[in-house]
Each structure stands twice: as C-alpha cells, then as structure tokens.
Amino acid sequence: MIKILVVDDHAILRKGLTQILDDTTDLKVTGEAENGMQAIKMVQDNQYDLVLLDISMPDKHGIDVLKHIKLIHPTLPVLMLSMHAEDQYALRSIKTGAAGYLNKQSAPAQLVTACRQVAAGKRYISTELAEQLANGLAQGYQELAHQKLSNREYQTLCLMASGNTLTEIAETMSLSVKTVSVYRARLLEKMNLKNNAEAIHYAISNHLLD
C-alpha cells in the first residue's frame, strides 16, 4: 500500500483527492495538511511513500515547502499539484527536486497514474509538458528571461504583476519590505527591464498569471 500525504489549503479539494486515491487498491491517503508548515512537521513525524503538494498555499510557497521536505527526507517523492500552467512551474519544481508536476485540471486517472509512477521512483511529466520540452529542443532551447530568476524572484514578479504593492507582497511571502525590494531590483536587473511597468507587461505577455 502506497501511503500518501495530501497538502492543500482547500478542504474540499483535499477531500476530492483523498476520495480518488482511496478508491484504488494500492493508494491510501494517510495524512492531510492544510498549509506548508503543517506539511513539513507531518513529514518529520510520520512515514509516507509520497507527498502530493499544492504549489499555492497561504503561509509558504509550495516550492519552498518542497525544499524543506527534501532536506528532511531527500528520497521521499513529491508530486507537485497546481492550477498554474505547466510551463510556469513544472521545470522549476523538478529542478528543485520534485518527482513530477500535475495540473489540477487533469483527469482522475492521470492523478492515479502519476502517483503510482513517482512512488515507484520514476519521474512524471504530462504529455503536454513532454511535447513542450521536445519542441524546445527541436528549435534549439533558449532560456526565457523569467527562467533565470530564483524561486523568490519569480514569485515577486508574479505578485507584482497581479497588482500587489510591496507591502502586500512582503506579507504574502512572510518577508520584510526591504527584502522584497531587493528581489524586485534583482529580477529587473536579470531580465534587463527598466521598471515595474515593464515587468508587469512582460508577465502578462508571457501568460505568467494564467
């Protein structure tokens, strides 16, 4: 039996995921967490074969939670789950140590397949993402400007483009305004942009808010 920890701040979604997984003969949800800190503590205190981790959570960004989990338990497979388009966070998640990435709009059968695959020690990427990667290689892969950013810088960019002030971004990321200002300055420099308006235009043009 594959023991799974489901991490998502929406209770209804957690229940739906649990029902899908528990309806199988070999998958069993043995833990649920509603935020990042709770997930980290549960991984410290319990044994799981797989973590199903949402990227967007109220206290800590999913990729930061992923980093903590990999520090505690480097061999524990983590499957990222998100509403974000795969080209936004999939590669970033996998580079950080995730075993796979699944969009929340995926069919239940795809979720079951992904869980079994990563629990068996394999990677999971969707057909759509595999096609994007193949197309990139065929065309001679070039890194996009936002792919140069660290996870925190990328998160700052997305929050800026969503209309948040520096103070609001600092609250969301649990950081000081000064630290967020540093991230903003770094992302503008790395992306060769002059100001916030150019950064917001870039994020919208590249569909980073979808």
Order the strands of the 50-54 sheet from edge to edge: 27-33, 2-7, 50-54, 78-82, 100-103
Encode pLDDT of 180-201 as tens digits.
999 999 999 998 898 999 999 8
Quote the pTM value.
0.68
pLDDT of 138 higher than 60: no
Distances (CA, A) of 107 to 14, 17, 22, 133: 15, 11, 16, 22
All domains of the chain in start order, with CATH: 2-136 (3.40.50.2300), 145-205 (1.10.10.10)
By DSSP bridging, strand 27-33 and strand 78-82 are unpaired
pLDDT for position 133:
64
pLDDT of 142 higher than 80: no
Encode pLDDT of 37-55 as tens digits.
999 999 999 999 999 999 8
Encode pLDDT of 144-182 as tens digits.
778 778 888 988 998 998 889 999 999 988 899 999 999
List b or e across 166-205, with b for residues whose CB sees 16 or more CB atoms inside 10 angstroms.
Answer: beebbebbebeeeebeebbeebbeebebeeeeebbebbee
Confidence of residue 210 (pLDDT cuts 50, 70, 90): low
